[in-house]
């Protein structure tokens, strides 16, 4: 893999901040975009700017063709054989809410249980809490070990006749933990329980094959995978999507409308009311095309090497303690430093040109479990380097000097 060539594809990496060369290590929050994504979105706005599905003129036809082609690209990327199992959403949060308020409202009954884990992002907690309160459901939480891994024995004991759904994160945004998704599904399927995965962090970092794994739903976000914000998807098994009522009503999701009654289109259109984020979806398709144009296995191996190197270097740096030491890690390393607040760490690093994320990472229950109010998090993409990790470590030593 030609790393220098790959880095040249991402214009956002090549800038100075506060007079220092940018070291961008906030990829779990959002990733930089390759020129191919920016060009695809600009082409839509400049040459094909029209609404999709509705128009008979050439611009609308071209926009619709580009837009609809993305379903097939996503399906192939995640191992689905049916492009119509891909529903376009604003992102993972939108997709989880869709499942909660469509599948959940119809198929889950009072007294049933939803199983999540103790390492979930708030987007995979709050929608289920809202649904549970509305329908009289119980939310059960699989505990997390001191290493930041799922307690699979506890999970196996939780599943039973009352379990209506399992919804878990594939890769933790806060710790980088890669969960054993096949085991999660197999244990659930033994009880005929459907499984959903929050794939926001999995999508850019690990190979995904939804059919081989056997899950029922998988959600992804474009901006976590080198694409634009506000564009993502829900993949669902055909039989699941067909059993679900519309989540929102409006244009383009109907067969017919009268003042007495409306009828709805088959999935995925049933769940895509109104004008979509056309440019964003086209940009998401371009991001997938870009990943298909490079040696993705080599790029991910390089990224894994940089992530491991970061964990090793931080663990050997005075005053730093890693938060979470999972056996399988992807894309992120969380840490604390003496009694220095993570926000102070992030602020000082910014002046050194290093961009990281600090705070609770929308995972407050996980922070409580790990006995910290917040962490500093370095997170990686295929374009990051060991040399950038060295700059991070040097910046952290300066943090200690300044903060005592």
Helices (H) and strands (E) in the chain, counts: 16, 17
What does the pLDDT read at residue 404? 74
Determine the Cα–Cα distance for residues 24 and 315; give it in Å rounded to an integer: 20
Euclidean distance between the first and final Cα of the chain, in Å? 42
What does the pLDDT read at residue 179? 98
Taking the whole predicted model, whether its pTM rises above 0.95 is answered as yes
Tokens linked to 256: 């017919």
Q: Which one of the listed residues 49, 225, 310, 362 is annotated catalytic?
A: 362
Same domain, residue pair 92 and 241:
yes
Q: What is the pLDDT of residues 18-68, one digit of tens each?
A: 999 999 999 999 999 999 999 999 999 999 999 999 899 999 999 999 999
Q: What is the pLDDT of residues 302-336, one digit of tens each?
A: 999 999 999 999 999 999 999 999 999 999 999 99
Same domain, residue pair 314 and 367:
yes
Same domain, residue pair 120 and 200:
yes
Same domain, residue pair 13 and 78:
no
Of 254, 273, 292, the position where a domain reaches its end is: 292
Burial of 22 (0-12, 13-18, 19+ CB in 10 A): middle
Query: What mean pLDDT do residues 2-27 have?
Result: 97
Contact 12, 32 (CB under 8 A): yes
Which phi and psi (to 5°) does residue 107 adopt? -105, -20
Helix (H) or strand (E) holding 40: helix 35-47
Same domain, residue pair 87 and 109:
yes
Judged by phi (left if over 0) then psi (alpha if -120 to 50, else beta), residue 178 lies in: beta
Q: Domain of 333?
A: 3-30+296-403
What does the pLDDT read at residue 1? 80
Same domain, residue pair 225 and 99:
yes
Same domain, residue pair 256 and 187:
yes
Of 233, 263, 292, the position where a domain reaches its end is: 292
pLDDT category at 402 given cuts 50, 70, 90 is: very high
Q: What is the pLDDT of residues 136-169, one digit of tens each?
A: 999 999 999 999 999 999 999 999 999 999 999 9
HSE-CB of 317 using CA atoms within 13 angstroms:
25
Same domain, residue pair 382 and 249:
no
Tokens linked to 87: 């529903």
- Which sign does the torsion angle of CA 340, 341, 346, 351 carry? negative
Please report, for the domain that includes residue 260, its CATH number: 3.40.640.10
Contact 234, 127 (CB under 8 A): no
49 is catalytic: no
The DSSP 8-state label assigned to residue 175 in this structure reads T
Same domain, residue pair 287 and 340:
no
> For the chain, what is the domain count?
2
Same domain, residue pair 263 and 165:
yes
Same domain, residue pair 212 and 328:
no
Q: What is the pLDDT of residues 368-392, one digit of tens each?
A: 999 999 999 999 999 999 999 999 9
Tokens linked to 186: 């197999």
Determine the Cα–Cα distance for residues 339 and 260; give it in Å rounded to an integer: 64
Determine the Cα–Cα distance for residues 165 and 146; give it in Å rounded to an integer: 26
Which phi and psi (to 5°) does residue 295 adopt? -80, 85
Mean pLDDT of the chain: 97
Same domain, residue pair 390 and 244:
no
- Of 186, 142, 215, 200, nearest to 330 by C-alpha is 200
What does the pLDDT read at residue 296? 96
Of 292, 313, 347, the position where a domain reaches its end is: 292
Please report, for the domain that includes residue 373, its CATH number: 3.90.1150.10
């Amino acid at each position: 893999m030609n790393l220098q060539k790959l880095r040249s594809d991402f214009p956002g990496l090549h800038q100075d901040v506060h007079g220092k060369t940018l070291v961008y290590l906030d990829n779990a929050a959002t990733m930089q975009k390759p020129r191919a994504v920016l060009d695809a979105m600009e082409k839509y706005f400049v040459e094909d700017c029209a609404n999709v599905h509705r128009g008979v003129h050439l611009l609308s036809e071209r926009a619709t063709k580009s837009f609809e082609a993305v379903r097939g690209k996503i399906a192939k990327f995640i191992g689905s054989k049916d492009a119509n199992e891909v529903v376009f959403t604003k992102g993972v949060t939108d997709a989880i809410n869709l499942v909660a308020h469509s599948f959940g409202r119809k198929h889950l009954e009072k007294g049933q249980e939803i199983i999540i884990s103790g390492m979930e992002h708030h987007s995979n907690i709050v929608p289920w809490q809202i649904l549970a309160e509305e329908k009289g459901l119980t939310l059960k939480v699989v505990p997390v070990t001191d290493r930041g891994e799922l307690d699979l024995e506890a999970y196996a004991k939780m599943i039973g006749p009352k379990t209506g759904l399992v919804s878990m994160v594939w890769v933790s945004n806060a710790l980088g933990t890669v969960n054993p998704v096949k085991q999660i599904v197999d244990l659930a399927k033994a009880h005929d329980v459907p499984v959903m995965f929050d794939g926001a962090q999995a999508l850019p970092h690990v190979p995904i094959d939804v059919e081989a794994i056997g899950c029922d739903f998988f959600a992804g976000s474009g901006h976590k995978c080198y694409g634009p914000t506000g564009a993502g998807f829900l993949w669902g098994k055909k039989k699941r999507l067909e059993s679900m009522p519309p989540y929102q009503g409006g244009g383009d999701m109907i067969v017919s409308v009268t003042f007495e009654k409306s009828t709805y289109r088959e999935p995925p259109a049933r769940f895509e009311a109104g004008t979509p984020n056309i440019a964003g979806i086209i940009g998401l398709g371009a991001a997938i095309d870009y990943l298909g144009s490079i040696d993705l296995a080599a790029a991910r191996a390089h990224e894994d090497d940089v992530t491991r190197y970061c964990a090793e270097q931080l663990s050997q740096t005075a005053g730093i303690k890693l938060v979470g030491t999972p056996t399988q890690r992807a894309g992120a390393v969380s840490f604390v430093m003496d009694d220095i607040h993570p926000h102070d760490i992030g602020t000082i690093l910014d002046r050194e040109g290093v961009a990281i994320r600090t705070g609770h990472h929308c995972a407050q229950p996980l922070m409580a479990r790990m006995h910290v109010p917040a962490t500093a998090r370095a997170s990686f993409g295929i374009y990051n380097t060991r040399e950038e990790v060295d700059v991070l470590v040097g910046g952290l030593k300066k943090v200690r000097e300044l903060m005592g």
